[in-house]
């Protein structure tokens, strides 16, 4: 579906074509979001492989797993490597298990909201108050593997790109554009004005993520906070509420696990839509 989302209360049908340039909003995305302190083998390896940020220095523990590869990548990039003992690195580490490697780099530069909404076929994830760094990192990792074109989270009352989040993201922050916004409800209003479907994930959704008819069009998938889920204002601004069928005794999933199921379900549908054979 490539039509513009309907007015609230109207049927979920297509309308006029999506605007080629989205309207401007107050979501500038010019505030720092962190990311300058990187720990963990995968996170540091992708930092060096991507080459999108300046890396100032890398600390490694000799004989730690993967150190040889890190040193080779750093040498190619002209980055200084300092060998330290495990106690020295642990003293300066900010995550629970830095895996014997740590890097200092320029902070991640936030993307502009307008660029995310103005992508050729947006597939954006909006996080409505996810506060756990591990969940944020895991969602970013899933988002990258699902082909998401951007991630948005609030400037306040949300996890940032801390060393723990970066480690859980395993390098995804080097490839997925990330923007911050004043609030998710206002962002969803801007997305809708740009002709993008907004889909909230909730247990009582009217459809399932596997049957999401709008998935192959421009779409924002909204994930709620740990515990409370979607806020009332965010939920009211979603065009569709979709659920993940649960077949056991538990009533809910962790937000990062739900993100993995939902985003790859959307990605699969988008892939089928892009396949001219329909297979």
- Give the model's confidence band at 32: pLDDT under 50 very low, under 70 low, under 90 confident, else very high: confident
**Tens digits of residue pLDDT in 216-230:** 999 999 999 998 899
Helix residue ranges, H only, 52-124: 67-77, 86-92, 113-117
- Checking if the pLDDT of 3 tops 90, the result is no
- Give the model's confidence band at 275: pLDDT under 50 very low, under 70 low, under 90 confident, else very high: low
CA distance 123 to 7: 21
- Checking if the pLDDT of 6 tops 60, the result is no
Q: Where in the chain is the domain with CATH 3.40.1280.10?
A: 113-274
**Tens digits of residue pLDDT in 65-111:** 899 999 999 999 999 999 999 999 999 999 888 999 999 999 999 99
- Give the model's confidence band at 15: pLDDT under 50 very low, under 70 low, under 90 confident, else very high: very low
CATH number for the region 37-105 comes to 3.30.1330.30
Residue 184, classed as helix, strand or coil, is helix
CA distance 121 to 219: 8
Stated pTM of the model: 0.86
Average pLDDT over residues 118-126: 97
CA distance 144 to 164: 18
**Tens digits of residue pLDDT in 51-70:** 999 999 999 998 888 999 99
CA distances from 71 to 98, 118, 160 (A): 16, 39, 28
CA distance 152 to 183: 10
Q: What is the pLDDT of residue 64?
A: 87
Q: Where in the chain is the domain with CATH 3.30.1330.30?
A: 37-105
- Checking if the pLDDT of 26 tops 50, the result is no
- Checking if the pLDDT of 274 tops 90, the result is no
**Tens digits of residue pLDDT in 189-200:** 999 999 999 999
Q: Are 124 and 97 in contact (CB under 8 A)?
A: no
Calculate the average pLDDT of the chain.
88
- Checking if the pLDDT of 137 tops 50, the result is yes
Tell me which of 3.40.1280.10, 1.10.274.10, 3.40.50.1370, 3.30.460.80 is the CATH number of domain 113-274.
3.40.1280.10
């Amino acid at each position: 579906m490539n039509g513009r989302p309907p007015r609230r209360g109207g049927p979920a049908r297509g309308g006029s074509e999506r605007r080629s340039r989205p309207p401007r909003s107050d979501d500038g995305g010019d505030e720092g979001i962190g990311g300058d302190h990187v720990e963990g083998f995968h996170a540091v390896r992708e930092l060096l492989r991507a080459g999108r940020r300046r890396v100032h220095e890398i600390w490694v523990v000799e004989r730690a797993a993967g150190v040889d590869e890190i040193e080779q990548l750093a040498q190619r990039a002209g980055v200084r490597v300092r060998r330290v003992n495990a106690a020295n690195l642990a003293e300066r580490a900010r995550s629970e298990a830095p895996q014997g490697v740590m890097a200092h780099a320029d902070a991640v530069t936030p993307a502009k909201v307008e660029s995310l909404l103005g992508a050729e076929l947006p597939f954006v994830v909006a996080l409505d108050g996810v506060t756990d760094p591990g969940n944020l990192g895991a969602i970013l990792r899933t988002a990258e593997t699902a082909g998401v074109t951007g991630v948005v989270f609030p400037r306040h009352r949300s996890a940032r790109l801390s060393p723990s989040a970066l480690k859980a993201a395993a390098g995804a922050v080097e490839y997925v554009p990330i923007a911050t916004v004043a609030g998710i409800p206002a962002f969803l209003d801007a997305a809708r004005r740009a002709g993008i479907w907004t889909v909230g994930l909730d247990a009582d959704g009217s459809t399932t993520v596997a049957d999401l008819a709008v998935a192959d069009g421009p779409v924002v998938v909204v994930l709620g906070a740990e515990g409370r889920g979607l806020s009332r204002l965010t939920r009211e601004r979603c065009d569709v509420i979709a659920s993940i069928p649960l077949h056991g005794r538990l009533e809910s999933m962790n937000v990062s696990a739900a993100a993995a199921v939902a985003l790859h379900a959307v990605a699969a549908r988008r892939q089928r839509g892009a396949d001219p054979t329909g297979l």
